[in-house]
Amino acid sequence: MKTVYCRPKCMKEAHFHYCPGCGHGVITRLIAEVVDEMELRDKTICVAPAGCGMLLYNYFDIDTIESAHGRGAAVATGIKRVRPENLVFSYQGDGDLAAIGTAEGFHAANRGELISVIFVNNGVYGMTGGQMAPTTMLEQVTTTSPAGRDSVLQGHPVKICEVYATLDGTSYLERVAVNKPAAIIKTKKAIAKAFRHQQQKTGFSLVEILSPCPTNWKMSPLDSCRWVDDVMTKVFPLGLIKETKKC
Amino acid sequence: MLIRTIFSGFGGQGVLSMGYTVANTAMLEGKYVTYLPSYGVEVRGGTANCTVVVSDEEIASPVASDPEFVVVMNQPSFFRFQSILQSGGLICVNSSIVDTSCARGDIEVVVVPTSELAEKLGTIKVANMIMMGAFIKASNIVSFDFLMKHMAEILGEGKAKLTKVNREALQLGFDYVKE
Amino acid sequence: MSGNSAVGEAAVLAGCTAYFGYPITPQNELTEHMAKRIVEVPGGVFIQSESEIAAINMVLGASAAGARAMTSSSGPGISLKQEGISYLAADELPAVIVNMMRGGPGMGNISPAQSDYLQATRGGGHGDYRTIVLAPASVQEAADLVYVAFDLADTYRNPVVILGDGMLGQMMEPVTFTTAAPRKEYPKEYVLSGASGRPSRMIRSLLFDTKEEEEHNWKLFRKYQLMEHNEVRYETFLLDDADMAVLAYGIAARIAKGAIKRLRQEGLKVGLIRPITLWPFPMKIIQETAKQLGDFFVFEMSTGQMIEDVKLALEGKGHIHFYGRPGGVIPTPVELSRIIARHCYQSQRSKKR
């Protein structure tokens, strides 16, 4: 008999504690699959964030360090510079990378740090209870934008990929999603590509993943997946944003 | 014996390097020495100064509120530092551009026309070295012979090609001041 | 050599291979020295970071990756670093942080001051933790304490703060570097290098389980107790026959020494206790001195921060005098000696009565 599906080797025997319909579990698993398939477990160091994503160190069976909220790119920089032979990636949410950690992410990208950032964009602060994030859609209702996000008062959704694309230090930026099987396959390819860019030292790589958050969006998992397509991708168009060299 | 000296003038007149050279010389002579450059706001005002303390024992504070010696390369520094000089203290003044007619009566003033002397050597850049030669003669703060002997070591490798002209300038300043 | 450069050079000689910093006066020469020097070392890493916050977090990453890592700053920048220092302490990662203090609070000024004593000795950031704080009084001692700082950081896996001030950083003094004696090897079983041939490792401070977090706190506490027991450093000067003990650290202690020499010439029996570790604080020597004399004179370039520790040490015994000059003002030994003399005569008079 042939095994076609099993737990990735670099995942622990633990159950995901993410909410039903949440994208984090899918993303965590995709990263583990890529690390397995590229045979990188021995070399990989993961920088975990503050936010829902921090739970990943209950699941990954690879070397992992927690970073303070927003500082993932700086911590990853410190590790990668000391251990250039390792594969170093940080896993960050939208509040983490696009608000409190704007400076750290932006400047790591600008320096062309040879790290990969897995950027999970679900448009809200998940762990703290669904507050407005820098990536929240206009008119989207959150606990801190109860009347819907108003661009006059609360600004516009931040497009990290497009901003980073202007920086010469970045070599690979792609926006993907995990709301349906075809998108998930693309996401996995994108993660692998980001790691290859790091290995080939082309520059800073980032994969932005649009991810559903049914709990805080107050939607069913299915509606959340549809909402990603119907609303989010209109503001955050999917696809390759920048690639300086084919990897 | 504890001697505090303030070197002062415009930024670019080699004021800090004067202090640094004296401090370095004293250090190699085996003295206790501190060198404190002024940093921050007043540097932007156009004047630079540094304080060198030379002593036979451990130095408590590198700051000089009432120094024994002052070396002055420009007019604002003259006003500022003659007022804090100890009574009976010595002030070496670059008389080429500083008017000393309002000097205090209780201090010793040594005037050195550094620009005119420097012209003899064909470069204004050594005005600070001339002043230093004169200052060492007047103050006897470090051994002049020791400085001349260990010039290369004291000024550092970067200045090696200037050693000759620096030597001449120091000697010129030293000889300018009469016993 | 300036204090800033000397600290940088000593760090390189002590095996520091990763430095991250952000410009702030009066410590820029240290960052500049590292920019030139550390890249000469195999594997040496220098980054001028985008902020103090980024710098300390790069230190955290480099330390987790096994490097001897360091950052430096002054008051306002050190405030920004507190987040990272708290994480370093919680994660039990070694690091050396240099603070060349200046006048504060707020932007304050760039003149030398001792305004960050409490911030440094009480942890500084959020949470229940301590850092070892070393306070050099000369450029030579600053260089020497850098070696000590890195060793203490590795021994206890804890951040160590070198607390200087603008004057120490800026002033030049002769300095000799003890050519690096073969360094002790420290177990590095926490270092992240990729889970090759061993189980994966995790460095984190997030412990949702309150019992676990409590145990972690007590574990750290036991470590701090060990430091208090083993790492107290201080210097005394003319204390044996003294009627009054001056307490001062860093540059203030130098000034106090000068003042004491003058006072001795006047026949006043004044001695000095100079804490070299501000945390752990040299409680014992103060308590022992209190058996011999009753007058303690605390001198700080602040409105009085270390005095709190002196009070704690004395437990109500003795009489505490205080002289402080905050805001970047540096009193002279003469000025200080006059003040101390006045206090001496006053307390002699009150004893006669």
Domains and CATH numbers, chain C: 3-230 (3.40.50.970), 235-352 (3.40.50.920)
Distance from CA of C48 to the nearest CA of B (A): 21
Verify whether the Cβ–Cβ distance C166 to B39 is below 8 Å. Answer: yes
pLDDT at C344 > cutoff 70:
yes
Of the candidates B23, B41, B60, the beta carbon closest to that of C172 is on B23
Verify whether the Cβ–Cβ distance B39 to C174 is below 8 Å. Answer: no
Chain C residues within 8 A of A106 when measuring between CB atoms: 50
Determine the pLDDT at residue C182: 56
pLDDT digits (tens, 9 = 90+) for B92-144: 999 999 999 999 999 999 999 999 999 999 998 899 999 999 999 999 999 99
Optimal mutation site among A35, A36, A75, A90, interface C, most CBs of chain C within 10 A: A75
Token reading at C191: 């270092």
**Average pLDDT in chain A:** 96
Q: What residues are paired with A177 via a beta bridge?
A: A210
Chain C residues within 8 A of A50 when measuring between CB atoms: 206
B84 in contact with chain C, both atoms CB, cutoff 8 A: no
pLDDT in tens, chain B (179 residues): 899 999 999 888 899 999 999 999 999 999 999 999 986 554 444 678 999 999 999 999 999 889 999 999 999 999 999 999 999 999 999 999 999 999 999 999 999 999 999 999 999 889 999 999 999 999 999 999 999 999 888 888 777 778 889 999 999 999 999 87
Of the candidates C173, C174, C258, the beta carbon closest to that of B61 is on C258
Chain C residues within 8 A of A54 when measuring between CB atoms: 206
Verify whether the Cβ–Cβ distance A68 to C57 is below 8 Å. Answer: yes
Distance of CA B25 to the CA centre of its chain: 12
Verify whether the Cβ–Cβ distance C26 to B65 is below 8 Å. Answer: no
Q: Which chains touch A (3 or more CB pairs under 8 A)?
A: C
Distance from CA of C253 to the nearest CA of B (A): 8
Which residue is listed with tokens 């300095």?
A: C175
Optimal mutation site among C48, C50, C86, C126, interface A, most CBs of chain A within 10 A: C50
B176 in contact with chain C, both atoms CB, cutoff 8 A: no
Determine the pLDDT at residue A69: 96
pLDDT digits (tens, 9 = 90+) for C89-121: 999 999 999 999 999 899 999 999 999 999 999
Verify whether the Cβ–Cβ distance A103 to C17 is below 8 Å. Answer: no
Query: Nearest-CA residue of chain A relative to C84?
Result: A68
Verify whether the Cβ–Cβ distance C332 to B65 is below 8 Å. Answer: yes
Optimal mutation site among B39, B44, B54, interface C, most CBs of chain C within 10 A: B39
What gap in Å lies between CA C39 and CA C43, rounded to an integer?
7
pTM of the model: 0.90
Verify whether the Cβ–Cβ distance B36 to C170 is below 8 Å. Answer: yes
Collapse the DSSP code of C254 into the 3-class scheme (helix H, G, I; strand E, B; otherwise coil) and give the result. helix
The one-letter amino acid code at B84 reads: I
Cα B119 to Cα A196, B113, B148, C206, distances in angstroms: 67, 10, 21, 72
How many Cβ atoms are within 10 Å of C180's Cβ, its own excluded?
12
pLDDT digits (tens, 9 = 90+) for A22-68: 999 999 999 999 999 999 999 999 999 998 888 888 899 999 999 99
Chain A residues within 8 A of C45 when measuring between CB atoms: 81-82
Of the candidates B20, B33, B37, the beta carbon closest to that of C174 is on B33
Q: Residue A212 — pLDDT band, cuts 50, 70, 90?
A: very high
Q: Which chains touch C (3 or more CB pairs under 8 A)?
A: A, B
Chain A residues within 8 A of C59 when measuring between CB atoms: 78
Determine the pLDDT at residue B46: 64
C348 in contact with chain B, both atoms CB, cutoff 8 A: no
- Of how many residues is chain A composed? 247
Determine the pLDDT at residue B162: 81
Of the candidates B39, B41, B61, the beta carbon closest to that of C330 is on B61
pLDDT digits (tens, 9 = 90+) for A220-242: 999 999 999 999 999 999 999 99
pLDDT at A203 > cutoff 90:
yes
pLDDT at C123 > cutoff 60:
yes
Determine the pLDDT at residue C236: 98
Verify whether the Cβ–Cβ distance C206 to A82 is below 8 Å. Answer: no
Q: What percent of chain A has pLDDT over 90?
A: 89
**Is-cis flag, bond preceding A214, omega within 30?**
no
Verify whether the Cβ–Cβ distance C172 to B39 is below 8 Å. Answer: no
pLDDT at A134 > cutoff 90:
yes
Verify whether the Cβ–Cβ distance B60 to C111 is below 8 Å. Answer: no
The one-character DSSP state at C183 is P
Determine the pLDDT at residue B43: 46
**Average pLDDT in chain C:** 95
Mean pLDDT value across residues A138-143: 96
Cα A71 to Cα A175, C84, C346, distances in angstroms: 22, 9, 56
The one-letter amino acid code at C310 reads: V
With touching defined as 3 or more inter-chain CB pairs under 8 Å, the answer for chains A and B is no
C233 in contact with chain B, both atoms CB, cutoff 8 A: no
Write out the E strands in chain C: 16-21, 45-48, 68-73, 95-101, 132-134, 159-165, 202-203, 234-237, 244-247, 270-275, 277-279, 295-300, 319-324
Q: Tell me which long-range contacts B103-109 makes (C-beta under 8 A, separation of at least 24).
A: B107/B82
Write out the E strands in B56-122: 69-72, 90-94, 108-112
Q: Which chains touch B (3 or more CB pairs under 8 A)?
A: C
pLDDT digits (tens, 9 = 90+) for C154-196: 999 999 999 999 999 999 999 999 866 656 889 889 999 999 9
Determine the pLDDT at residue A87: 98
Query: Nearest-CA residue of chain C relative to A113?
Result: C47
CATH number of B2-176: 3.40.920.10
Q: What percent of chain C has pLDDT over 90?
A: 94
CATH number of A24-243: 3.40.50.970
Chain A residues with CB under 8 Å of a chain C CB are 10, 41-45, 47-48, 50, 54, 57, 60-68, 71, 74-83, 86-87, 103-104, 106-107, 111
Determine the pLDDT at residue B40: 52
Determine the pLDDT at residue B174: 96
pLDDT digits (tens, 9 = 90+) for C234-288: 999 999 999 999 999 999 999 999 999 999 999 999 999 999 999 999 999 999 9
C200 in contact with chain A, both atoms CB, cutoff 8 A: yes
Q: How far apart are the first and last CA of chain C?
A: 52
| b/e A215-224 (16+ beta carbons within 10 angstroms → b) | bbbebebeeb
With touching defined as 3 or more inter-chain CB pairs under 8 Å, the answer for chains C and A is yes
Chain A to chain C Cβ contacts (< 8 Å): 139
Optimal mutation site among C173, C235, C251, C261, interface B, most CBs of chain B within 10 A: C173
Verify whether the Cβ–Cβ distance C167 to B37 is below 8 Å. Answer: no
| b/e C281-293 (16+ beta carbons within 10 angstroms → b) | bbbebbeebbeeb
B27 in contact with chain C, both atoms CB, cutoff 8 A: yes
C53 in contact with chain A, both atoms CB, cutoff 8 A: yes
